[in-house]
Structure 1
Amino acid sequence: MTDDMLPLEGVRVIDLTRILSGPFCSMILGDLGAEVIKIEGRDGDAVRRQGDIVDGMSWYFAGFNRNKRSLTLDLRTEEGKAVLERLLKDADILTENFRPGVLDKMGLTAERLAEINPGLIVTSINGYGSTGPYADRPAFDFIAQAMSGFMSSNGTEETGPLRAANPITDLICGLYAALGAVAALRGREAGGPAQKVEASMMMSMLSMMAYLSAGALASGKDPARTGNDHPIASPYGLFHTADGDIAVAPSTEAICAKFMTELDLGHVLSDPRFDTNGKRLEHRAELNAMINAALSTDTQANWITRLNDAGVPCGRVQTMLDVLDDPQVAAQEMVLDVPHPGHGTVRMTGFPMKFSATPLRVRHPAPDLGGDNDAVLREAGYSDADITRLKARNVI
């Protein structure tokens, strides 16, 4: 391993995923240095045609398919399946997000995959898991948000259940799948078996419910919808300053004391109504009214500086454009301008994982559909005549 070698350099991923949860998983693997070959049908991943299309490139697709190469392949044909099997012989990881059982119908059963490549790690992403009464149901992020308990605990009693604006179950599931693939790879390299890794959208979201699911298990009660207030901490939430709201998170008794002292409300914590967190939860509306009155005496910017200096976590609610223009985001290089040959420059979010010796980078922009057909097939041992024949037969 050289000093500038990325963590997964030398790892080959054959990627059968599409839309979002799977491509997010394979993008993470690609960002970490793996060679990712994205297998697409002749029409390509549906996301290629979604979102804003600029210079012939979907920015939605570009943002989730960097560091990959594209091979078009008709897997409905025996020749197409033969090409895939040839690629799998030299692969480390196969990623797929079909419904459970689809790989089997394609002839790629666990037994057949083991014959092709005994060391292959199969990473499967689905809606609900491959066992249980919902295994065969179609899945979508919105449905997984609803069924995981997330929506029922989001929002307020007045709004009713609310979804997250971003496709959170897709993203969390893709993240778990990538983590599982890397863990399985490490296990195989340590002498363990090559194994199948599975992550589902509903169960991934359920695992993120944290103290809400823990509380329900302990109490037998559903969590209340508390909106921007914290379900088990007070004060905590959005408060009003003279010129705008601020988010404040005094999550411990010590930080709560600092917060109230900065507002000249330290004496309130000795009031029998507010001297414990439990009592503050009961009298949250009264306490919040006092806090809002104190904060309204100064500006948002001044309170943010003052409270953070005092060790009280505090910030303003930023719009998406605010965040993308934030100096901290710039310092962390979280907005990238990526040249896409033939399509101009695409702006996208950067890498949240920071490596001290081998910083992550965009080695390949999102590929054009089938843009790497010839190169990938030549690397797999196909001759130019073979490639011409496959093209003539519409296999690629």
Structure 2
Amino acid sequence: MEQQHQRQPLAGIKIVDLTRVLSGPFCTALLSDLGAEVIKVEPPGGDEYRHVGPFEQGESALFTLMNRNKKGVVADLKNPGHLARLLELVREADVLVENFKPGVAERLGVGFAAIKAINPDIIYASISGFGQQGESSGLPAYDLVVQAMSGIMAITGEPDGEPTKVGESIADLAAGLYASWAILAALFDRQRSGEGVHLDIAMLDCLFSLMPTPVAQWMFGGEAPGRVGNRHPLSTPFGSFNAADGRVIIAVLNNRQFAALCAVMGRPGLAQDARFGSDEARTRHEPALRDLIESWLSGHSVASAIASLAAAGIPASPVLDMGEVLARARQGERRLLRTQRHARLGEIPMMTQPVRASAWASPAPATAPALGEHDAELFRP
């Protein structure tokens, strides 16, 4: 039984990683967490994330997080000798991942056609802002640009405030996550078909696909939705409310939960009030219902309100700051942060993929590579 828990589902899969910054490195980090051998190929100056802080003894935290478990080599793809030794690596690879601006990989001699010519079974994943073809394909695409163009900024923020970015580079991360999912599907497909494939992953497409709620608001003839602040656009009460000493999240999705909330508030008759008789009606009368809830909460601390709501089976929570979240992430069985032995920094906390599997190994993540650390191992003289 103990041996069963040592399996790594991607053991034996070799991935050549030509990506940099966030979307591609996040994709390949997820695959390396599952046992794939990921060979990160960097230009002589290194991945841009090596030069983005915060730093500890010259080591970038972002680079370290996104390049765990990888081997690292240096190759100047404009140098014919370097390109030749990279292509030798690619001949034996299962997957190549790149996130160059469309057209750059071809100019460097590592486009899909060139790679397929030497490795017909290759799974070749291209991550870009707007896809490999089309009028927008050549546009530069940072996360903020894609957030702005996806509509997610237009629906985030207070109704009378500015469009607001999500507090993380969500477009990059969505593309990396979808790319890893697509690569896994392609590996499975290749087992059955015997053929490789070119995967075209656009950040804009991936972020749009994570917005079913605004699409649902629009799809049956409604207007395009706008910002509603910290509440749900379709369900009420489902948002953030003021208590005596902070804010409480209350998430009510059906009439049963609403009746329970009314009872906790000492106002059971509200459940029969025509203004609040359905989710749609409650949403139409959200301001009035908010006033009633916050009137009740004004006499309660966050902790006492949550205790009362939880006892009644009503989903509720405090709004934690990142300091509290990080402290919790280092504790408990889920271990969202795990200790890594870094060759230069000693013991440091490290993110890893969050899925738990009954029969897979879950080793502590290995350190990100130093620039060119595995040149001697992986490049033939």
Q: Which of 240, 252, 270 lines up with 1:238 in the alignment? A: 240
In terms of mean alpha carbon deviation, does 178-187 or 292-301 score higher? 292-301
Asked whether the 8 Å contact 1:154–1:226 carries over to 2, the reply is: yes
Asked whether the 8 Å contact 1:337–1:345 carries over to 2, the reply is: yes
How far did 1:361 drift? 2.5
- One-letter code aligned to 1:153: I
Q: Which of 299, 302, 306 lines up with 2:301 in the alignment? A: 299
Counterpart secondary structure, 2:274: coil
- One-letter code aligned to 1:267: G
Asked whether the 8 Å contact 1:31–1:362 carries over to 2, the reply is: no
Whole-angstrom distance in 2 between the partners of 1:171 and 1:287? 36
Whole-angstrom distance in 2 between the partners of 1:166 and 1:129? 22
Q: Which of 38, 41, 65 lines up with 1:39 in the alignment? A: 41
Specify the alignment match of 2:189 in structure 1: 187
Whole-angstrom distance in 2 between the partners of 1:350 and 1:95? 20
Counterpart secondary structure, 1:197: strand
Specify the alignment match of 2:275 in structure 1: 273
Specify the alignment match of 2:101 in structure 1: 99
Q: Deviations over 1:348-395 (max 9, x none)?
A: 223311122223334521111111111122xxxx2xxx2xxxxxxxxx
Counterpart secondary structure, 2:215: helix
Specify the alignment match of 1:376 in structure 2: 378
In terms of mean alpha carbon deviation, does 143-152 or 352-361 score higher? 352-361
Specify the alignment match of 2:7 in structure 1: 5
Structure 2 alignment gaps of length 5 or more: none
How far did 1:192 drift? 4.5
TM superposition score normalised by structure 2: 0.95
Q: Which of 158, 171, 177 lines up with 2:179 in the alignment? A: 177
- One-letter code aligned to 1:270: Q
Q: Deviations over 1:195-254 (max 9, x none)?
A: 111211111110011121122232241102101111111111111222221111112222
Asked whether the 8 Å contact 2:350–2:365 carries over to 1, the reply is: no
Q: Deviations over 1:70-125 (max 9, x none)?
A: 10111111111111110011100000000111121122343322221111100110
In terms of mean alpha carbon deviation, does 125-134 or 11-20 score higher? 125-134
TM superposition score normalised by structure 1: 0.92
Whole-angstrom distance in 2 between the partners of 1:351 and 1:312? 30
In terms of mean alpha carbon deviation, does 13-22 or 271-280 score higher? 271-280
Specify the alignment match of 1:353 in structure 2: 355
Asked whether the 8 Å contact 2:255–2:277 carries over to 1, the reply is: no
Whole-angstrom distance in 1 between the partners of 2:168 and 2:117? 40
Summarize the alignment of residues 217-228 of structure 1 with structure 2, pairs less than 5 Å apart: 217-228=219-230
- How many correspondences in the alignment? 378
- One-letter code aligned to 2:220: A
Counterpart secondary structure, 1:151: coil
How far did 1:260 drift? 2.1
Specify the alignment match of 1:199 in structure 2: 201
Coordinate RMSD, CA, aligned: 1.6
Structure 1 alignment gaps of length 5 or more: 387-396
